[in-house]
Amino acid sequence: MMRTVVPVVERVLETPSTVTLRFPFAPAARPGQFVMLWVPGDDEIPMSLSYVEGSKGVTVKVMGSTSRTVQSIAVGDRIGIRGPYGNAFDLSPGRILLVGGGSGSAVLAPAAEAAARRGARLTVALGATTASELLFAERFRRMGARVEIATDDGTAGRRGYVTRVSDALLASERFDALWTCGPEVMMGKVLASAEAAHVPAIGSVERVMKCALGMCDACSLGPYHVCTDGPVFSGEALRGLPEFGHLKRESSGRLVPA
Amino acid sequence: MMRTVVPVVERVLETPSTVTLRFPFAPAARPGQFVMLWVPGDDEIPMSLSYVEGSKGVTVKVMGSTSRTVQSIAVGDRIGIRGPYGNAFDLSPGRILLVGGGSGSAVLAPAAEAAARRGARLTVALGATTASELLFAERFRRMGARVEIATDDGTAGRRGYVTRVSDALLASERFDALWTCGPEVMMGKVLASAEAAHVPAIGSVERVMKCALGMCDACSLGPYHVCTDGPVFSGEALRGLPEFGHLKRESSGRLVPA
Amino acid sequence: MADLRVSWAGLSLRNPLILASGIWGESGASLAGAYEAGAGAVITKSIGAAPRPGYPNPTVEALDQWGFLNAMGLPNPGIEEYPKEIAVARARGAAVIGSVFGGSAEEFAELAGRMADTGVLAVELNLSCPHAEGLGADIGEVPEEVEAVTRAVRARVKVPVIVKLTPNTSDPVALARAAERGGASAVSAINTLKAIAIDIRLRRPVLSHGIGGLSGPAIKPIGLACVWQIARAVTIPVIGVGGIRSAEDVIEYLMAGASAVEIGTAVAFDGIGLFGRIASDLDRLLGELGLPSAASAIGLAQRAAAPAMPAAPSVRGNR
Amino acid sequence: MADLRVSWAGLSLRNPLILASGIWGESGASLAGAYEAGAGAVITKSIGAAPRPGYPNPTVEALDQWGFLNAMGLPNPGIEEYPKEIAVARARGAAVIGSVFGGSAEEFAELAGRMADTGVLAVELNLSCPHAEGLGADIGEVPEEVEAVTRAVRARVKVPVIVKLTPNTSDPVALARAAERGGASAVSAINTLKAIAIDIRLRRPVLSHGIGGLSGPAIKPIGLACVWQIARAVTIPVIGVGGIRSAEDVIEYLMAGASAVEIGTAVAFDGIGLFGRIASDLDRLLGELGLPSAASAIGLAQRAAAPAMPAAPSVRGNR
Ligand SMILES: Cc1cc2nc3c(=O)[nH]c(=O)nc-3n(C[C@H](O)[C@H](O)[C@H](O)COP(=O)(O)OP(=O)(O)OC[C@H]3O[C@@H](n4cnc5c(N)ncnc54)[C@H](O)[C@@H]3O)c2cc1C
Ligand SMILES: Cc1cc2nc3c(=O)[nH]c(=O)nc-3n(C[C@H](O)[C@H](O)[C@H](O)COP(=O)(O)OP(=O)(O)OC[C@H]3O[C@@H](n4cnc5c(N)ncnc54)[C@H](O)[C@@H]3O)c2cc1C
Ligand SMILES: Cc1cc2nc3c(=O)[nH]c(=O)nc-3n(C[C@H](O)[C@H](O)[C@H](O)COP(=O)(O)O)c2cc1C
Ligand SMILES: Cc1cc2nc3c(=O)[nH]c(=O)nc-3n(C[C@H](O)[C@H](O)[C@H](O)COP(=O)(O)O)c2cc1C
Ligand code: FES
Ligand code: FES
């Protein structure tokens, strides 16, 4: 829960728009949890831990001004970290289908690694706008996962949204669980398909974070605070929320289209 | 170190001017240590613990306004206690001569009890203005001590100051240690005699106490703070202090005749 | 079973524990959730005329378990949007008090009026946010301005008006008296104290705004002193705020003269469940102290001590 | 080895750690002891015209490890007696600063003059004791009075004049500016904050005086904010006080703009040995932070942030 200032010890450009920063950070963390990443002189933004063991890590995709600044952070630069916050993935083994879009692999990858170590059999449906933006495909393969790919422009795998891949998998195979993280519209579709296929699903959700302590209400989503009740929710919980996939709160707290 | 409010569970009128109050107080304490006794609506004053086991206790002699109020505290009344503070008697066994005057027995008695349990052989030179004011004579006898008495008016034991008794004992017997508590002039004489007889001596000293935390400087005595460095000092330390037996600080911090 | 109900300024609350403004107060669902968790009433985030994003992060800094710094910058969806949230909370039965902030007496009156129109039980005027220049505290530090704002609001709304005071002053009593003169139904004290945290490794303040407000246990003795001083100087009820985390703390405030209390930072340390826990602890503790009700604790310490501490011993009185 | 020496207002101290007024300050032997324990200088108890016993006990209340309440009531032996104590401390080589309090500009000037005559390095004016009516804070809350007192003292003494400011104000900067206008060589901030503790079982305030002053870690963020604000508003040095217990705390104050610091309450928690410990920790920590000296830390966080927080990223600057 305490803030610390740490040096970046490793920097990996994962895709043209996505960088991983590794740093020493002692507190124990579980896959699914996030930290508040302070870019000194700039904003502090929530980031899932993409590495929870050894040097911890975050994997940051450019979304706006601060995430763009993050791309220019070099080894030796110092960043502020507080956390870890939030809940974690339930890692019970079995056949798990992971559906990731955009930066969603950042949080799915460490969860998948942990599950693989417990004997889970992993299938990953991985989506991106284009081939070079596919995040952690190799990392998933290294842990023994089968990786099925979709790109919007067809430069790798199937052309189109990742839901085409995941829907096909759900239709043809049996899974014990489905995990998803990505754009909310995508997650909404994935969760609906999972429900139809009677596969218990969970998804990691994003909302504006300020305190990360369940206090300021910035991250409120229906009856939940994403920072303390989430970010991982069951598909059931999410499907029950009229806001999910439709509305989010901007920094002022005003509800705007998601 | 924390303050608590406790009920008085037992009250014993020890002498016409001295009352013992017993009360539940959990923190461990050693003989020699003191507490700050808060008489609600009145002052808070330092008091040695006269009982350090089971229900703790203080034994309060009327010296001024607050100690007078204490006499009227009844069983069930509530008092504030913080502490225990200060250092303790060194309880190594052997032949110990205890020299107490006035309320001095209040702190000597629990120390003697603890020493007796460790096999010390105790001789007590006990002084008071008059027979009825002798404090804890029976308590000392119950622990197996030899008790030699002096009263100013001769109503019990030898007539005159207790130093007459203690000087005689030091002249005729061998002791491994001498402990004293009482008026400073008396203690000064006792410590001088002990030095002459080559008996290592310690004395418990009083100064005005406010914080009892070694902070406010109210209890300063030469290089020491009685609240944290004392109240128990070696005869050597005390003899080295020009103030001892001569000067004390009043509440303002001004040095006045002791 | 002690009676936890308190009544003041025409309000009747099921217990004296009020959710402080700025905590769980942006969404109607959160307000309702806090009420359902056991609060006696809930206060909204302070609402202004237009949507405000607040300051960039970092906006908070937790100081161990005893203090908390924030400079949120009064983020709020604005008075146009916010009535929807209140409707959600009221539909679930929550007892809601609406907080507003503004830059002038007119703006306060306008906002309070629109807030009152939503059906809140009372309005609280945030005259005390320490880190939003020109809004709240700058006005709230000057008795004449406090009086003028209160009077303007009083003229505009029918519901009770609570004026929330700043501790960043040499004279909280003068501010409370000004609110009373202006027609306040009650005052609440305190908001946060101006404070800062420096990161020595980064050689800069932690909060993006630099100066923030200190809350949490660290400020309890300060809040108590404000309530203590104000309660003996005004006849309107005083609501105690600052550093409350336990039933003991609540009773300290009540005995100092508060008619109810607001709780904020403790939610970050203990979760929203603390309202229910404190309510049941309060019930038990009042019993232990021989007090039949929360109301019977109000001002007890004032009586023991007023006007000066007594010279005469009063040991017996404490049995 | 970092250089711990600091120089300000014409004084040169072997390190920036000063014993705060009111702690170990009644006797010359204690002052000397604190200096020998490692303080860079020691400040006397605040001395008035006549001996004052102070308030009856209870005069202190420790709040866990984060806060401390006191209402000593300015006990002091009076300016007639006190020079003897200073002589004892000076004979042992201590760097002594003399603190005085009074009820008027004339009284302050007279006392400061007599204090200066004892050979102290500087005088500190206690314009900020929160619990002694009519003495110090009542004057210290009004900029014009602060200026008048400072000017009167300035005219009377040749040694540096440090004006100790109260945090019980809406505008510490105005007070600091007033001191500067009056000719102060430096200001120190902060004294304690008005606070109270209530015993719920006895139903009364704990301190005999009721209201006391809050000190200790709880007030560090408040003291830092005062120093931060003052340091950017005046050109004279600022001495930071409030809640310092570690070398980290010291560096926070230095970076906020303080030229030295005073340490009080931590002595009750950690003993007088903390001066030596903090001095050696400071040496090590400055090294870790890549700073050659204590002096080089002064105002660093001001520079990072001034005048407003930068919009541009400055990650690289922190390497
Ligand atoms: C729990 C959680 C985990 C996340 N994990 C990752 C991750 O692993 N990798 C990754 O690339 N991104 C992650 N994000 C998203 C990331 O926080 C945003 O992309 C980032 O905050 C954008 O900041 P910006 O300044 O670049 O964007 P801005 O220019 O400020 O705004 C762009 C958009 O980013 C979002 N955003 C801005 N500020 C915040 C904030 N304080 N909190 C939440 N969202 C904000 C808003 O939707 C905004 O519209 C996560 C978000 C959350 C809530
Ligand atoms: C460490 C220590 C242990 C003590 N143990 C005992 C004990 O076991 N039994 C016992 O009867 N007495 C004991 N005393 C003495 C006792 O504290 C005083 O008798 C008591 O404070 C007098 O208070 P009063 O209000 O009745 O007297 P007052 O009318 O206030 O003054 C009478 C004298 O009492 C002394 N005194 C007053 N206030 C204080 C104070 N705050 N601190 C110290 N001395 C004070 C002064 O010498 C004063 O001149 C002890 C004192 C100390 C320092
Ligand atoms: C994160 C945060 C946001 C706050 N926002 C507001 C606000 O919008 N309006 C207001 O009047 N007070 C606000 N406050 C002040 C609290 O309502 C309360 O007065 C203060 O925090 C002291 O109480 P506490 O110690 O219980 O937190 C806020 C406090 C915090 C910590
Ligand atoms: C017991 C006590 C006595 C004090 N007496 C004085 C005093 O006589 N004069 C003064 O200027 N400040 C006095 N102070 C205030 C301190 O010097 C200091 O400003 C304050 O305690 C904040 O610093 P700290 O948190 O390090 O204690 C006193 C503080 C305490 C705790
Ligand atoms: S980020 Fe503040 S409540 Fe979740
Ligand atoms: S009583 Fe305060 S220093 Fe000893």
- How do residues D89-103 score in pLDDT, each as one tens digit? 999 999 999 999 999
Specify whether the CB–CB gap between C241 and C162 falls below 8 A: no
Residue of C nearest to B7 (CA): C319
Is pLDDT of C111 > 50? yes
pLDDT of B243 reads 94
Asked if residue C263 is part of any domain, the answer here is: yes
Give the span between the Cα atoms of D41 and D35, in whole angstroms.
Answer: 6
Angle between helices C220-231 and C172-181 (to 10 degrees): 50
* Chain A and chain B touch, per 3+ beta carbon pairs within 8 A: no
pLDDT of D46 reads 97
The four Cα atoms C255, C260, C262, C266 give a dihedral, to 10 degrees, of 50
Q: From the CA of C288, how many Å to the nearest CA of chain B?
A: 13
Report the 10 Å Cβ neighbour count for D316.
Answer: 14
Is pLDDT of D137 > 90? no
Inter-chain contact A78–D310, Cβ cutoff 8 Å?
Answer: no
* Nearest to B209, CA basis, from B196, B199, B221, B197: B221
Inter-chain contact A250–C76, Cβ cutoff 8 Å?
Answer: no
For chain A, say whether D313 makes contact (Cβ under 8 Å): yes
Is pLDDT of D178 > 50? yes
Is pLDDT of A106 > 60? yes
Of all helices (H) and strands (E), which one includes residue B18? strand B18-23
Asked if residue D50 is part of any domain, the answer here is: yes
The one-character DSSP state at D47 is B
Query: Residues C296-317: pLDDT tens digits?
Result: 999 999 987 644 433 333 333 3
Give the span between the Cα atoms of B243 and B236, in whole angstroms.
Answer: 14
Q: How far is CA C285 from CA A177, C248, C272, C308, D272, in A?
A: 48, 8, 21, 28, 39
pLDDT of A87 reads 97
Which residue has the least CA distance to atom 8 on ligand 1?
A48
Q: How far is CA B200 from CA A12, B124, B205, in A?
A: 73, 16, 17
Query: Residues B71-85: pLDDT tens digits?
Result: 999 999 999 999 999
Which of D42, D209, D215, D238 for mutating ligand 4's site (highest number of atoms within 8 Å of CB)?
A: D215
How many independent structural domains does chain C possess? 1
Question: What are the backbone dihedrals phi and psi of residue A149, each rounded to the nearest 5 degrees, phi first?
Answer: -115, 145
Interface test with A, best of C24, C52, C57 (most A CBs within 10 A): C57
Give the whole-number percent of chain B exceeding pLDDT 70: 100
pLDDT of C131 reads 65
Is pLDDT of B111 > 80? yes
Q: Stretch B23-37: mean pLDDT, rounded? A: 97
Report the 10 Å Cβ neighbour count for D70.
Answer: 30
- Sketch out chain B's domains with CATH numbers: 4-85 (2.40.30.10), 95-257 (3.40.50.80)
Q: Stretch D45-71: mean pLDDT, rounded? A: 95
Average predicted confidence (pLDDT) for chain B: 96
Which bound ligand lies closest to the C-alpha atom of A216?
5
For chain C, say whether A3 makes contact (Cβ under 8 Å): yes
Inter-chain contact D200–C168, Cβ cutoff 8 Å?
Answer: no
Q: Taking CB atoms and a 6 Å cutoff, what residues make up the pocket around ligand 1?
A: A 34, 43, 45-48, 58-61, 63-67, 103, 106-107, 206-209, 231; C 57
- State the burial class of residue C104 (Cβ atoms within 10 Å of its Cβ: 0-12, 13-18, 19+): middle
Asked if residue D208 is part of any domain, the answer here is: no
Asked if residue C200 is part of any domain, the answer here is: no
Give the span between the Cα atoms of B49 and D43, in whole angstroms.
Answer: 35
Which residue has the least CA distance to atom 44 on ligand 2?
B208
**pLDDT: is B93 or A110 the higher one?**
A110
Q: Which atom of ligand 4 is nearest to the CA of D244?
A: 26
* The residue type at A208: V
Chain D residues in contact with A68 by the CB 8 A cut-off are none
Asked if residue D112 is part of any domain, the answer here is: yes
Complex ipTM over 0.90: yes
Q: Determine if ligand 3 sits within 6 Å of the CB of residue C45.
A: yes
Q: Which domain holds residue D266?
A: 6-54+71-192+214-304
Q: Which atom of ligand 3 is nearest to the CA of C126?
A: 11
pLDDT of D313 reads 35
Least confident of B168-172, C7-11, D93-97, D307-311: D307-311
Q: Stretch A50-59: mean pLDDT, rounded? A: 96
Inter-chain contact C309–D208, Cβ cutoff 8 Å?
Answer: yes
Inter-chain contact D196–C67, Cβ cutoff 8 Å?
Answer: no
Residue of C nearest to D307 (CA): C210
Asked if residue C33 is part of any domain, the answer here is: yes
Is pLDDT of B93 > 90? no
pTM summary value: 0.95
Which bound ligand lies closest to the C-alpha atom of A212?
5
CATH number of the domain residue D297 falls in? 3.20.20.70
Which bound ligand lies closest to the C-alpha atom of A219?
5
pLDDT of C135 reads 63
Question: What are the backbone dihedrals phi and psi of residue B152, each rounded to the nearest 5 degrees, phi first?
Answer: -60, -35
Q: From the CA of A103, how many Å to the nearest CA of chain C?
A: 21
Inter-chain contact D198–C166, Cβ cutoff 8 Å?
Answer: no
